[in-house]
Structures are given as structure tokens and as C-alpha cells.
Structure 1
Amino acid sequence: MRKWIFLCFLFPFVQHLQAQNIQNNPGSNHGNRFEQLGTILPTPNEYRTASGAPGPKYWQQRCDYDIKCSLDEKNLTLTGTENITYYNNSPDVLTYLWIQLDENEHNNLHNANYQDASYLSNRLTNTMIDRLESSKEDNGYGDKIHAVINLATGKALPYTINKTMMRIDLPQPLKPGQQFNFKINWSYKISDRMQMGGRGGYEYFPEDGNYLFTITQWYPRLCVYSDFQGWQNHQFTGRGEFALTFGNFKVQMTVPADHIVMATGTCQNYQQVLSPQQYARWTKAQTAKEPVEIVTLDEAKNAEKGKATTTKTWIFNADNVRDFAWTSSRKFIWDAMPTYIEGKKIMCMSAYGKEAYGLYRKFSTKVVAHTIKTYSKFTFPYPYPVAQSIEASNGMEYPMICFNYGRTEKDGTYSEAVKNGMLGVIIHEVGHNFFPMIVNSDERQWTWMDEGLNSFVEYLTEELYDNKFPSRKGAAWTITDYMRLPKDQLEPIMTNSENIVQFGPNAYTKPATALNILRETVMGRELFDFAFREYARRWAFKHPTPADLFRTMEDASGEDLDWFWRGWFFTTEPCDIAIDTVKHAVVNENSTGIMPQRNGARMIPLAKPAVPQFDDISKIRNRENSSITFLTDADTSLHDFYWKYDRGIIAYDSTIKVKLPEPAAVEPFTAEELKPYLGKHLYEVTFKNKGGLVMPIIVQFTFNDGTKEIERIPAQIWRKNENEVTKVFVTNKPVTSILLDPYRETADIDVSNNQWPKVNEPTKFELFKAGLMNRRNPVNPPNPMQEIKATN
């Protein structure tokens, strides 16, 4: 349970001290918005054509992995070795390779050195202070590289780790058409995903003493080397996701013997790792019409009660995928059924703990099947043999497997918001198999190319699930609140992932809405669907850029859409950083307490049905199209309380009252627990970028005993607000003064606003009166040589 520290502010100190939209005729009211994108998009070449299709000399690299790893549940570590075969299909000679070490995201010394602003609240947890204080000490997380070996010679390869990236220097140049084989031995401490965040790690269930592991971004993996930017070796900050190379995987995972493993690809040894009864159910599921429980609820509950002391090794293969992820837990119930796309069988599967049984058993696997069938209709036939949804209290995607949320109350009931949120996240994450797992855009540079396009097809899929589904992505009316925000809170869609403030609307909702407007209002469904499908099929298993999408949509439709891309997707200074305000608080005996209950428990009317707020044009046209059958109309097993409630079959009664849950309980500190935090000082400093040029913030603190300390904050602190940022610092002593850029490292043009408290310098007039200034001839400086000579 969290413990809270309540701070009384001792004294606030206040010293009042895009993507480029190139225009042809910026001073005019015409000739800009409908100008062609020729000055913005890259020049077509033999790799990428003016039509948006791959060129005659298009190429891309390949990387195959043979990985063996072992999960140590007791010590929460993962150890692995991987043999890597890298194919140089480029026309370039390579002298080094770049590897992603994404686990370093969790290490406070070797992460991407990305900074976020922070604020001093009157209510802090001890965890927050611990995190601020521990930022200078190695917390033990991140990749430990034990060896990098040339498999041809058995000799060690030289390598350099730069935060979340590793460069391996090749023993000789890797020429076009050649391949290189090497091995990496590594390990890392698995992080508590629920506390530290991130996409992979573990969740601990104290009620039954078990773990659920989501093993993602887990193995050192090759960066993309492409024709349009060379190595994509941008650091992993936790937001911009991944650019990855296609290849084949063989992965062996040794885990506790009572765990169930779900993974990218197909398992090669189910008969060895499953019980005879479970394997028989797996065989039955191959031809089932309804999901079959391969691991039952009772089996999962029984497994939770014991802890195996032996291990099993699960073996998975996956071909032509860009990544590999897996999950392992003794808590899993596992169900499966097939679906068919153009005659090919795809096994749709779900795994979930008992906490999610009431939702996932009824909906998940059927929604997986609905998703891949619908996406296949709008893009290309799903090419893989498996599609899986795992309940892991989050939302993240990988080839053939994704992690979602959706747990019931202890009594098995659930709210409509939880149900609809679960349906939406399953559709969204399963849909990522198409964008970017197959249409393999660079997520680290253009988040919208996977999230936005995927959100658009998610919207189409939700609409075909149930005409009353309350979708929040795609319909034009859903984006208006975002688009009317002040300009300083907006960025063009064509903005790097790390620089976006309103990340969800910018990267997900706005591009999805733009595409839906193109489909319903600008182009019409027939033209749009043909062109969008052409883009997906041209770039399946390849690396597209935004220009490839823009050009293909025009090429395949015969529509000039440059005005649309320009308006919806694209739409400038010396350094002068100033200290604007300083707030100070200190932890003392009066700083701790129980968090006040804001409103306490309240009785409110029963929630009304979650019908769509607006009957948008897509819903209307779908209803009017006699060839469309909504899944919930075709499959009555998907009818639950809320399906009937929304349609008035179960009547709404406003006289029924429901009790709001109590606010989360927090504990007060004991005097002993509070001791380590007593006397700590927290300073919230707000900095203004008055000049416009973003630079690192270098802060020198002078303490009451005369000692000094310098904190260096990277320029990335300005990414989300280029005009003003706020940062909280923890010190063990009172600060008497703060000075920016003490060594004049940033070319700051005005140092008068670099101090707190502000020091008033003499004006030029005062200097003149004191005889220290002469208009033409300044006062002669001291001349020690002259002085010494005069005394001899």
C-alpha cells in the first residue's frame, strides 16, 4: 500500500523574471493550401517510385535468430544466448552493426537520457522521492552483455554501448550479398511492470503469490538499416516504439514446469509440455466451432496453489516476422478455436487469469477472429498461422501475440466501460499484426503510421462488430475538442513521437479521423478502399514511409490529395533560458498523514446505457448496406447484459442507486519509516526559454554551508514544451542560491535572468558615477608586472 507524504510549502519564490509546411506564397491568401507536396516529399528514386510503390531496386535487410533463454522465477531474472545471422541485402558496405538494447530503458544510468518535466505537489509518495534521489545510482536493471562472439572464428567482437543502443564493430567489412554470424550472451533483471511501467516485465498477484510475465523487447535485436535513412538507431525513450528487421526465429524458453507459455509463432513440442488431457483438447480445438478450453479454469486455479521445482522447455518457430514476444505464468486459462481466411486456417487463441475469466472466456477469442477477418478484408489476407490475445492488464502488440486488459469484479460482474474498453483494445492490438508487424513502418519516427492507420481500421472493425459500439476513433466529431485546443498544445501529425504533447489525439485519433473523412466524405468508400488496400499490399513485409502512403493513395485513386495531406498532416531563434519561479518544501514530522477522502462513498443513479453520442455517417451507411451483417447480430453468444441493456431489452431504471467505490486507502508513516525522509528539501524550479533555441539546462545549487552541486538536464527536457518547463530537485541541505549555466556553456545571451534570488547589477549610469566607465577609453586594468617592477 502506498504511503503519502504531505508537504507544506514553506515559501514560494517568484522571480518574474513542426513539421515544416513549406509554402509557395506565404504572404498571400492563395497559392499555398493547394500547392503540390513536391517541395516537401523526398525525391523519388530507384528504391521508391513516384507512384508510391517499391522501386525496381528496392531492398531490405534480413536477420535470423536462434535463441535459448531461461526464466528464473525465484530471482526474477532472464538469461539468454542468441545466434544471429545478418544478411546484407543493401548495396552498401557495412563496417558495424547497430543493436537495440531496449531493456536499458529501465536502467537509470543507461537509458535514453530522456527527461520529463516534474512538479512539486503538496502530496507525494515516498516512491516519488526515492525515484528522484536514486537517479544517480545504478538500479541494476537493463541488459548485462556477457559476450559478443564471432561464430566463424570464436573470437570476441568489440562493441560499444551507448544508452539503449549497442554498436558491434565487424572484423572485416560486410559487403553486399554477404552474411555475418555472431552470438550474444546476455541477462537482465525483470522489472515490476506495474510499478516501473514499460511494456514488458512481471505482474505479481499477492492474493495467490504468483507472477504473470510478459517478456517483450527482451533480446538484443538488430536495428533497421534502410535506403531512406541508413541505420535507425534512435534511442528508445519508452514512447516511440520500434523499427525492426524481418527474419526467421527459433526460440527455446525454459520456464517452471507448471507454467503455460504463449508466444509468437507455433509451438513445436506441445505433446511434450502439455498434459495428455490438455493435448487432446488442443487437438479438438483444431476443428471446433466454439472456443475450447485447453487449460481449464480449475486447472489454472490448482496450479496457482503450488510452485513447481522443475522446469520445461517450450520451443517456438516463427518465419518472416519482425519481432518475437512471449508470456509465461501458471495462472493462465487458455482457449482456442480456428477461423478461416481464403481457405487458410488460423488458430485464434486467448490466455488469461481467473481475474479476467468472466470477460475473456466469452469475448476474447471470437473478437480475435473477427479482427483478423475484418482487417483482411480491408488490407490483405492474414498470412500467419496464429493470432493471440493475452490478458495482462496492459495494451501492447507483437507478431501473432498481443497483451490487453479487462478484468471483472471479484463477483464476476463488470462495467460497460470495462467491457467496451476491453473489446476496443483487443481489436486494436490484434490489428497491429497488419500495421506495423507486416506493413512495417518506422514507429520510432512516425508513430501515426502504425497507430493512426491501425486506429482507423480498428474503427471500421468496431463498427462491424456492433452498430451501437461507442467508438471514439474515426468519426469526425470525436476529434473537434482536440483540434480547437490552443496552438501551443498542438503539433502536426508529421511530428516525431518524442515531441508530441497530446500523444493520443495526435498519433491515434486525428490520423484515424483524417482517413475516415477521406473514405466517407472526400473520396467515397469504393475509391478509398481500393487505394488503401493497394498501399497495404504493396508494402506488406516491407518498410514504407509517409510519402509512400501519400503517393499510393493518389496513384491508385486518381485523386489529387496533396491539399488534404498538407492540411491534415503537415501544418521557427538565440538561446535565452531564464529561472522564472522557485518553490520550496521540506519533509518534517508534520508532512505525513492519511490522504483525505475527496467525496467519500456516494450513491448515484445506475449508469445509463453507453450508446454512441452521435449517429455518424459511417454507422448510418453501414446500417443501410444490406450486405453488412454485424457480428453481434450473427452470433447471439456475444449478447450479454449490456447488449440487451443498450437496446432496452433490460430497462433502465434511474431509481436504482449504485455505490461508488471508496477512494484507494493509503497508510500513514510510522515515525521510524519517516526517518529517512526527514529534512529532505524539494525545490520546484520553472525555466523559461525566452530566446527560442533549445539547449541543455545546467543548474548550480549553492547550499547554506557554502558547498555547491551541479545538475545537468539534457535538451530533451524541452521536447514537450519548448517555452517553459518545470523540474523538481531533491537536496539534503537548504539551498541559498541557484545559478544557470555557471560555466557559460550554452551561449546564453542574457545572464541577468540566470540567478535566484535575483542579484541586481549596477546600471551603466551607476558605473559611470563610480568612475568605472569611460566612453572611449576603459579604465586601465591592473598591471602586476608594472607593480612588481616599481617595488624593486
Structure 2
Amino acid sequence: MPKLNSKFLSVLLSSVVFLVFGCKAQKLADTIKYNHQDLFGPINWPVPANQVRSANGSPGPQYWQNKVDYNIHAILSEKDTSINSKVVITYTNNSPDKLDYLWLQLDQNLFKPDSRGAAATPIAGDRFDVKGFSRGGYHIASVTITYKNKSYTVKPVITDARMQLRLNEPVNANGDKIQIEINYDFAIPLYGADRMGRLKTRNGYIYEVAQWYPRMCVYDDVEGWNTLPYMGLGEFYCEYGNFDYFITAPADMLVFGSGDLQNPAEVLTKTQISRLETARKSDQTVMIVDKDEIGKPETHLKQNGTLIWHFNMKNSRDVAWAASKAFMWDAAKVNLPSGRKAISQSAYPVESSGNNSWGRSTEYLKNSIEIYSKAYIEYPWNSAVSISGVALGMEYPGIIFCLNNLKNENLWGDVTHEIGHNWFPMIVGSNERKFMWQDEGFNTFINQYASEQFNNGEYYHPANRPSKVITRAMQNNQDPLMTPPEAMNMNDYGLYYIKTSLCLDMLRNVVLGPDRFDYAFHTYINRWALKHPQPYDFFRTMNDASGEDLNWFWKEWFFTTWKLDQVVTDVKYVLGTPSKGSLITIENREKIAMPVDLQITQENGKVENLHLPVEIWQRGGTWTFKYPSVSRIQSVVIDPDLQLPDINRSNNNFSDKRSTK
């Protein structure tokens, strides 16, 4: 046989190696989708750290945000179910930029028949069911600008639910002010995209009134003017400021609004004022207007004409209100951690009354505020009110709208969720129009702890783990959490709630531990209270305050629709002897990587829980580790507490059928 030359031998050996290991790699590729380079590669956030937003996630030394103060006078007309109003807006430009024009939101224009929201509503409808109606939308009668003591009228440029005001002279930077006066009116829709509307009851209509004045768009350091149109699902992004507003309503109505009622003696009877004072000192619910007082002459200061209700709210991003002849009314004291007292109230029709329904609304509201204030940051305002009406559930600072026919646990869930939004996004003022998970998901996360604490867990169901629900939902998930609401598949938008909540659960219980998570989460809340955080401010704060590079976690859970599948593949013994130790092999078959919690049971009855960090997956999807067994391994179970949304739990268990106790 002729001798093989060295070059040919080298090529042949390389081919053999390729065939052997290539086939093995192909086999692994058929089962393992995980690629460590996809997950642990570098991330460049689209919002870079700078003097406005620091690298540690806090507002920078040059952080700024603009301020908007509103003075509003509105008249509710029952005859044509309309609002006729004037708003005077004082806008403070704290930005470093001159502003040649201003942008405002005209959210009522969603209900015009030709709105973008109506055009984009599925033919079968949806929860928001934006169809528009013939009288829908704002009628802007006039717009007057006052700047440097000079006033002039402008013709607004209206595009769908946005209005641009082109100025004769730009507003200067760094604290300059400009005033806008707008006269307008609109018809109240019967069903206002589950945000507002009218409900007919046996004693009259309940009016839930929101998105009821032209609101300034946010001008920030990331987007400049934020002008995404209101289309129904995506909610709001508003500037903070002070509100002074006056509601003129029929005299036989009760009116409730965000903030503090300034003129109780001018709109309430002496009996009602006295009962309110009792309620302010009572931890038990006190009736202010009972069902047998509805419609009685003595329930109102006068029967004919109108009354003007004056409300004031400071450091808020919005206000809403409700009015009706049909309201029962009760209230109770709220105890805040600082020792300050607030008041919780509920207004509902006779049809909603009863201890299995709205008779407990104030109890639910009071306890939720106390729980969230103690756990996160103190509720900053003096009152909160829950309104029974047509909206399934909608939140505003100091006032929430919940569905009229809810009972027991369903009402508790609605009340605690909607008032929870006063923390996210009313206190921590994120951009709901773009990042729905940053308010809905955070709020869903804190709601579970409220349910656990309320009345010794009356409505708490620990067996209903979010991981079970989301595992099913993730099977066909099409859009990641960072998708804007209006681009999210309508079958997926519930993931903003449960997926985000589960992410925070996993971060707290599996990745960081409660102490480090809670410290970092509180740091985020305190840094961004009454400010405008971006998602990247949250990510950076959690990284920095926990002392952990969590970019892999943010990437897989918020920017992708990847799935998780952790597997026990093999158990062997050192030198074939269990007493010399075990070699346990696990795989990460899908693209998401997480730390691995295992429960290992030996034949001798010893049970031990192990926690392996996510770093075991930094170089690939297969990991073998030595476990100091002294007898045969009876079973190995991944994620024994079911904290992760593993899509295939059938491969989470290893069981040695030969092993017996």
C-alpha cells in the first residue's frame, strides 16, 4: 500500500471529525434551539445614558419635564348629553428647546365616525368597540394664545385625535410660560371605548366623564412631542400639573371628581357634610346617601336649576369625574403610613347595592390604598372614589370606573386593579401609549400581593399561578411586550398584564431573591415618582440597584417571543457507584435561558433543593454538574414549585424506576 502523504491525511482526518461531530451537532440542533450568543451578546439600548437620564437608571443632573396647569369650567347638559366647556392651560416649557408649535390630544375625536380608531376596529368589534357616532368628537369653537402679555387667536390644525397650534412666536426654553384658552364642546358617547360613557339605571343615567378636555401632549427628551393618536387600546401619556376645575350639573345630581371638593357647603346638605365627617374618622363604611334617599327633595340643596361643583387636584397627570341622580354614596377613612388620613368613597346605583356587590366597594378601595401605600410609596392625594357605571374598569388619578354588575371577588379584582393604577402610571408616570406593560404589568404584579393580604386572603388563590396561565398563552404568542398596544395582536394584549407580572415574579423569586428585588423595585418607584421613566430607566435601575447584569433577562422576556424548555436528560454515577457522586445533565432546549431550580431525591430518602445560576448557559445549551450523592438518585425535578412557564413539563422529571426506598 502506498504511503499517504501528510496533506491528504490531514484532509481525511478533518473530514472524519466533521462527519462524526457534525452529525452529533446536527442531532443536537434538531432538539436544542438555544443559542447562547443570541442571548448573552451585547445590548445597546436605543435611549443612551446622558445628563438627562443616567446610566444607573436615575433622572440625571439635567433631567427636566414640562408642566401643565389646567383651569376648566364645564357644563353638563342632560338634554343633549353634552359637555360645553372652556379650559385655560398654562404651559411651562422647562425643556432646553424653543417650541415653535404646541401639540394637544383631542381624545374625544376617537368617537368621530371617520376616526383612525374607528377605521382600525375589527368588523366583529372588540372590548373597546370604537365605532364612532354621528355627534362624536370635539367641536373647537376658538383657541386663544397669550404670550408675553400679548393675546391672539390661532386656527388649530386638527389631525384625527391631535391638534397642532402654530405660534406667532416660539416659547422660550428653560421655564418660559405660555397660556392657551380653548372653548369647546362634545357629545358624551354611550359607550366610550371602555374608558367613559353613560349607563341607564332605574333612577337616571350615570355619566362617567373622562378625556373631557384638550390635553397637552408630552414633550420629552426622548421623542420630542409624543403625538401617537388615541385609537382605543393604547392609553395615555400626560404631563403633570395642577388642576382647578368646576362642573356645572343639574341640582338633583351628585358629582364626584378627582381631587378635593372645594365647596361642600355649596353643593351638599348639612346632613351629608356631617356624615362625611363621621366617615373621615371611621374604619367602617359610613352611608352618606342611602337608597331610600335617592330622588328625595331633602337629598339636594335644591331640586331645580344647577349647582357648581369645584374640585382641585395638585401634582396630577389627569382628572376625571362622574355625575348622576341615581347615586348611593358611602365612605370610610384611609390610614396612610405617615399618619396622614385620606378618604375612600363609592358611588353606585341601587341595582349595584348589597354586601355581595358594591356595598363593599369602599372597603376594597380603602384596603387597597393602605396596602399599596405601605408596600410601595404613599398615596399622595387626599381622596379616592370608585364609580359604578358602564366602563368595565378604568383608572384616573383619585377616581376609578368599575362595571356596575360586578360582585364579590370580581368587584374586588376590579377595584384593587384600577386603584393600583394610581401607582402605575399615575405616580410613576410611564408612557402607556407606547409601553403598556410598564403600567398594566406592574399593576397586575402588585395586585396579587394585595389579594394575598386583604382580609386574611379572602380572595387569594395561591394555586392559580401565573406560570400556568402564561404557558398556554405563550404557545402562540406573536408579539413581544415592547410592541406598542395598537400593533399588538388582539389575542395577545393580555400578555401585557400576566407576562409582565410573571416576569417580575420570576425576577423576584428565581433570579434575585425578594430582598434584592424589593430594594431595586422601590428604588425605581422613588426615583421616578411624578416623573416620566422610559423602559430603559427601569432596566438600568434594576441592574444597578440589584447589582446584577440582567440584560439577558430583559432581552428574552421583553423583546422576543422566545419560549422556555428546561430538561433533565441524564443521571450517571462516578465510576458507576452512587456513593461516589452523581453526574446530572440538563439541557436548555428553547431560546430562553433561566436559572435552574432542582429538587433531588435519593433512594435513602434525602431530599435536597439546588439552585443553579443562569451563567451555566453562557457557553451552550447542555450542562453537566456533579451532585454529592451517597445513594442512588430516585428522582430529579426541575422547577418543583412551578414558578417558570416551561412549555413542556413532561421532560422536567427524571425518575429511576429501579430505585426504591
Same fold (TM over 0.5): yes
Once the two structures are superposed, residues 600-628 of structure 1 have per-residue CA deviations (whole angstroms, 9 ceiling, x without a partner) of: xxxxxxxxxxxxxxxxx9xxxxxxxxxxx
1:688 corresponds to which residue?
none
Q: Describe the shift of the 1:331–1:62 C-alpha distance in structure 2 as closer, same or farther (beyond 3 A).
A: same
Q: Within 1, Cα distance between the matches of 2:123 and 2:155? A: 39
1:396 corresponds to which residue?
394
1:368 corresponds to which residue?
365
Equivalent position SS for 2:471: helix
Q: Within 2, Cα distance between the matches of 1:405 and 1:268? A: 28
1:236 counterpart = 2:238: no
Q: Within 2, Cα distance between the matches of 1:378 and 1:395? A: 23
Residue 562 of structure 1 deviates from its aligned partner by 1.3
1:30 counterpart = 2:26: no
Q: Describe the shift of the 1:375–1:57 C-alpha distance in structure 2 as closer, same or farther (beyond 3 A).
A: same
Q: Within 2, Cα distance between the matches of 1:313 and 1:425? A: 31
State which of 467, 471, 475 in structure 2 corresponds to 1:480. Answer: 471
Q: Describe the shift of the 1:523–1:200 C-alpha distance in structure 2 as closer, same or farther (beyond 3 A).
A: same
1:354 counterpart = 2:350: yes
Residue 292 of structure 1 deviates from its aligned partner by 1.2
Q: Describe the shift of the 1:303–1:454 C-alpha distance in structure 2 as closer, same or farther (beyond 3 A).
A: farther
Q: Within 2, Cα distance between the matches of 1:70 and 1:41? A: 45
Q: Is the 8 A contact 1:491 1:506 kept in 2?
A: no
Q: Describe the shift of the 1:160–1:41 C-alpha distance in structure 2 as closer, same or farther (beyond 3 A).
A: closer
Equivalent position SS for 1:39: coil
Looking at both structures, which has the greater relative contact order when contacts are Cα pairs under 8 Å and sequence separation is at least 6?
1
Q: Within 2, Cα distance between the matches of 1:163 and 1:292? A: 45
Q: Is the 8 A contact 1:474 1:516 kept in 2?
A: no
Equivalent position SS for 1:278: helix
Q: Describe the shift of the 1:374–1:274 C-alpha distance in structure 2 as closer, same or farther (beyond 3 A).
A: same
Q: Within 1, Cα distance between the matches of 2:197 and 2:297? A: 21
Q: Within 1, Cα distance between the matches of 2:333 and 2:323? A: 23
- The amino acid that maps onto 1:79 is N
1:339 corresponds to which residue?
334
Once the two structures are superposed, residues 696-735 of structure 1 have per-residue CA deviations (whole angstroms, 9 ceiling, x without a partner) of: xxxxxxxxxxxxxxxxxxxxxxxxxxxxxxxxxxxxxxxx
Q: Within 2, Cα distance between the matches of 1:41 and 1:561? A: 17
Q: Describe the shift of the 1:468–1:360 C-alpha distance in structure 2 as closer, same or farther (beyond 3 A).
A: closer
1:62 corresponds to which residue?
67
1:98 counterpart = 2:89: no
Residue 540 of structure 1 deviates from its aligned partner by 0.2
Residue 229 of structure 1 deviates from its aligned partner by 0.6
Correspondence 1:642-721 to 2 at 5 A: none
Residue 467 of structure 1 deviates from its aligned partner by 3.3
TM-score by length of 1: 0.63
Residue 158 of structure 1 deviates from its aligned partner by 2.6
Residue 546 of structure 1 deviates from its aligned partner by 0.6
1:173 corresponds to which residue?
170
- The amino acid that maps onto 2:538 is L
1:246 counterpart = 2:243: no
Q: Within 1, Cα distance between the matches of 2:155 and 2:65? A: 25
Q: Within 2, Cα distance between the matches of 1:261 and 1:458? A: 28
Q: Within 1, Cα distance between the matches of 2:485 and 2:136? A: 25
State which of 524, 548, 552 in structure 1 corresponds to 2:537. Answer: 548
Q: Within 2, Cα distance between the matches of 1:339 and 1:197? A: 31
- Which has the higher mean CA deviation after the structures are superposed, 96-105 or 498-507? 498-507
Q: Describe the shift of the 1:171–1:569 C-alpha distance in structure 2 as closer, same or farther (beyond 3 A).
A: same
2:143 corresponds to which residue?
148
Q: Is the 8 A contact 1:474 1:512 kept in 2?
A: no
Return 5+ residue gaps in structure 2 as ranges: 1-32, 561-596, 598-661
Equivalent position SS for 1:541: coil
| Percent sequence identity over aligned pairs | 37
- The amino acid that maps onto 2:345 is M
1:567 counterpart = 2:561: no
2:134 corresponds to which residue?
139
2:403 corresponds to which residue?
405
Q: Within 2, Cα distance between the matches of 1:365 and 1:468? A: 16
TM-score by length of 2: 0.75
1:456 corresponds to which residue?
445
Q: Is the 8 A contact 1:164 1:236 kept in 2?
A: yes
Q: Describe the shift of the 1:170–1:397 C-alpha distance in structure 2 as closer, same or farther (beyond 3 A).
A: same
Q: Describe the shift of the 1:119–1:387 C-alpha distance in structure 2 as closer, same or farther (beyond 3 A).
A: closer
State which of 112, 121, 127 in structure 2 corresponds to 1:116. Answer: 121
1:314 counterpart = 2:309: yes
Equivalent position SS for 1:91: coil
1:498 counterpart = 2:486: yes
RMSD: 2.6
Correspondence 1:745-764 to 2 at 5 A: none
1:265 counterpart = 2:259: yes
Equivalent position SS for 1:31: helix
Residue 339 of structure 1 deviates from its aligned partner by 1.8
Q: Is the 8 A contact 1:201 1:215 kept in 2?
A: yes
1:755 corresponds to which residue?
none
Q: Describe the shift of the 1:490–1:91 C-alpha distance in structure 2 as closer, same or farther (beyond 3 A).
A: same
Once the two structures are superposed, residues 23-63 of structure 1 have per-residue CA deviations (whole angstroms, 9 ceiling, x without a partner) of: xxxx9933221234x32442111111111100000000000
State which of 398, 422, 443 in structure 2 corresponds to 1:433. Answer: 422
Q: Within 2, Cα distance between the matches of 1:118 and 1:258? A: 40
- The amino acid that maps onto 1:99 is L
- The amino acid that maps onto 1:423 is W
Q: Describe the shift of the 1:114–1:559 C-alpha distance in structure 2 as closer, same or farther (beyond 3 A).
A: farther
Q: Describe the shift of the 1:232–1:283 C-alpha distance in structure 2 as closer, same or farther (beyond 3 A).
A: same
Q: Describe the shift of the 1:28–1:568 C-alpha distance in structure 2 as closer, same or farther (beyond 3 A).
A: closer
Q: Within 1, Cα distance between the matches of 2:393 and 2:461? A: 17
Q: Describe the shift of the 1:461–1:28 C-alpha distance in structure 2 as closer, same or farther (beyond 3 A).
A: closer
2:85 corresponds to which residue?
80
Once the two structures are superposed, residues 139-163 of structure 1 have per-residue CA deviations (whole angstroms, 9 ceiling, x without a partner) of: 1210000000124444212310001
1:204 counterpart = 2:194: no
- The amino acid that maps onto 2:425 is P
1:187 counterpart = 2:185: yes
Q: Describe the shift of the 1:471–1:500 C-alpha distance in structure 2 as closer, same or farther (beyond 3 A).
A: farther
State which of 282, 290, 294 in structure 1 corresponds to 2:284. Answer: 290
Q: Within 2, Cα distance between the matches of 1:149 and 1:291? A: 47
Residue 171 of structure 1 deviates from its aligned partner by 2.0
Q: Within 2, Cα distance between the matches of 1:216 and 1:523? A: 40
Once the two structures are superposed, residues 719-763 of structure 1 have per-residue CA deviations (whole angstroms, 9 ceiling, x without a partner) of: xxxxxxxxxxxxxxxxxxxxxxxxxxxxxxxxxxxxxxxxxxxxx
1:158 corresponds to which residue?
155
Q: Describe the shift of the 1:74–1:60 C-alpha distance in structure 2 as closer, same or farther (beyond 3 A).
A: same
- The amino acid that maps onto 1:369 is K
Equivalent position SS for 2:373: helix
Q: Within 1, Cα distance between the matches of 2:332 and 2:141? A: 42
Q: Describe the shift of the 1:525–1:303 C-alpha distance in structure 2 as closer, same or farther (beyond 3 A).
A: farther
Once the two structures are superposed, residues 202-255 of structure 1 have per-residue CA deviations (whole angstroms, 9 ceiling, x without a partner) of: 1122x44x1100010010110000001111111110110000000101000000
2:609 corresponds to which residue?
none
Return 5+ residue gaps in structure 1 as ranges: 1-26, 121-127, 409-417, 572-616, 618-792
- The amino acid that maps onto 1:181 is Q
Correspondence 1:504-519 to 2 at 5 A: 504-519=493-508
Residue 447 of structure 1 deviates from its aligned partner by 0.6
- The amino acid that maps onto 1:285 is A
Q: Is the 8 A contact 2:293 2:299 kept in 1?
A: no
